[in-house]
Amino acid sequence: MNVIQLTIDGKKVVVSEGTTLLEAAKSIGVTIPSLCYMKLDDLNFENRPGSCRICVVEVEGRRNLAPACCTPCADGMVVQTHNLRVIQARRTVLELILSNHPFDCLICAKSGKCDLQALAQQLGIRQIHYSGEKSHYKCDASPAILRDMDKCILCRRCVTACNEVQTVGVLSPVYRGFHSVVAPAFEMDLDHSNCTYCGQCVAVCPTGALTEQDNTWMVLDALVAPGKTVVVQTAPAVRAA
Ligand code: FES
């Protein structure tokens, strides 16, 4: 296998052909933020649609910033992963993603474990400078999984987990452009699809778009009022106006 030598943030790196800039940077301890990228080492599966653009870096001699997760290293490349231009681009990208995202972190089940939230903190986002149309999908509350597609950033990690890892084939992108969303065929509810509730889509979702259905309060309700009939299926999603 051919060996490639490049420079990342002033450090010389030697990698094998086909290695991406993200992996090369990681090998020398440089962390480039990512959202859509996912690598499951044990299972040898990768998700790198290059859709979020959070991982952009500057490559000397190239006019446009390059997505590190899907740009292969080339001999002699000189890369900057955290200069001002790159940070500003990441902040802009993140603000654009957040401009079509509900601001309900305070009551979101993923709060504190959300990659999007963590990145906003890391990049010091305090204000969204972009406003426009927002997505409004109905919440799909199945017995085990809550799908809130208003929080989906179309990273497609769940699509890889559902189709390639678990081979269940329920989730896929439907529609195009602004109306594009990840859903079962014909946008049917999970409960009416072939979903096995394995939960792998929830495990890889970087936001609160896919979360485990929390039936804690209903179970507690049953304990304090044993005679009461408890329906553990249609917990409505709560969203701030
Ligand atoms: Fe590279 Fe999303 S992580 S484009």
CATH value of 3-82 in 3.10.20.740, 3.40.50.300, 2.60.40.10, 3.30.559.10: 3.10.20.740
Least confident of 91-100, 165-174, 225-234: 225-234
Q: How confident is the model at residue 230 (pLDDT cuts 50, 70, 90)?
A: low
Mean pLDDT of 36-65: 92
User: What is the pLDDT at residue 194?
Assistant: 95
Q: Do 201 and 163 form a contact (C-beta atoms < 8 A)? A: no
d(CA 71, CA 116): 22
Atom of ligand 1 nearest to the CA of 53: 4
User: What is the pLDDT at residue 236?
Assistant: 47
Question: Phi-psi region for residue 6, left (φ > 0), alpha (ψ -120 to 50) or beta?
Answer: beta
Better pLDDT: 220 or 88: 88
User: What is the pLDDT at residue 238?
Assistant: 47
d(CA 186, CA 193): 10
Query: Distance, CA 93 to ligand 1 centroid (Å)?
Result: 11
Residue 208 in this model has a pLDDT that exceeds 90: yes
Query: The tokens of 95 are what?
Result: 């603000």
Q: pTM for the full model?
A: 0.86
Tokens 């490639």 map to which residue?
A: 4
CA atoms within 13 A on the CB side of 131: 2
Query: The tokens of 44 are what?
Result: 């040898």
Atom of ligand 1 nearest to the CA of 22: 1
Atom of ligand 1 nearest to the CA of 36: 2
Fill in the amino acid letter for 11.
K
CB atoms within 10 A of CB 135: 15
Q: How confident is the model at residue 132 (pLDDT cuts 50, 70, 90)?
A: confident
Asked if residue 67 has its Cβ within 6 Å of ligand 1, the reply is: yes
Asked if residue 206 has its Cβ within 6 Å of ligand 1, the reply is: no
Query: Distance, CA 35 to ligand 1 centroid (Å)?
Result: 6
Q: Whose CA is nearest to atom 3 of ligand 1?
A: 34
Is the ipTM of this structure higher than 0.90? yes
Distances in Å between the Cα of 171 and the Cα atoms of 43, 165, 186, 191 are 19, 12, 11, 13
**Domain residue ranges in the chain:** 3-82, 94-224
Better pLDDT: 78 or 223: 78
Mean pLDDT of 204-214: 94
Asked if residue 36 has its Cβ within 6 Å of ligand 1, the reply is: yes
Asked if residue 56 has its Cβ within 6 Å of ligand 1, the reply is: no
Q: For a pocket test of ligand 1, which of 52, 92, 207 has the largest count of ligand atoms closer than 8 A to its C-beta?
A: 52
Query: Distance, CA 160 to ligand 1 centroid (Å)?
Result: 15
Query: Distance, CA 219 to ligand 1 centroid (Å)?
Result: 40
Asked if residue 52 has its Cβ within 6 Å of ligand 1, the reply is: yes
CATH code, residues 94-224: 3.30.70.20
Atom of ligand 1 nearest to the CA of 155: 2
Average pLDDT over all residues of the chain: 90
Query: Distance, CA 170 to ligand 1 centroid (Å)?
Result: 24
CB atoms within 10 A of CB 88: 11
- Beta-bridged to residue 210, according to DSSP, are 147
DSSP 164-225: IIS-----EEES-GGG-EEESGGG--GGGTT-----HHHHH-SSTTEEE---HHHHHHHHHS
Q: Tell me the pLDDT tens digit for each residue of 171-181.
A: 999 999 889 99
Asked if residue 49 has its Cβ within 6 Å of ligand 1, the reply is: no
Whether the CA torsion 179, 180, 181, 185 is positive or negative: it is positive
Q: How confident is the model at residue 43 (pLDDT cuts 50, 70, 90)?
A: confident
Between the two ends of the chain, the Cα-to-Cα distance in Å is: 56
Asked if residue 55 has its Cβ within 6 Å of ligand 1, the reply is: yes
What residues contact residue 165 under an 8 Å CB cut-off, 6+ apart?
A: 40, 43, 45, 200
Q: Do 81 and 10 form a contact (C-beta atoms < 8 A)? A: no
User: What is the pLDDT at residue 4?
Assistant: 95
**Segment (H or E) for 57:** strand 56-59
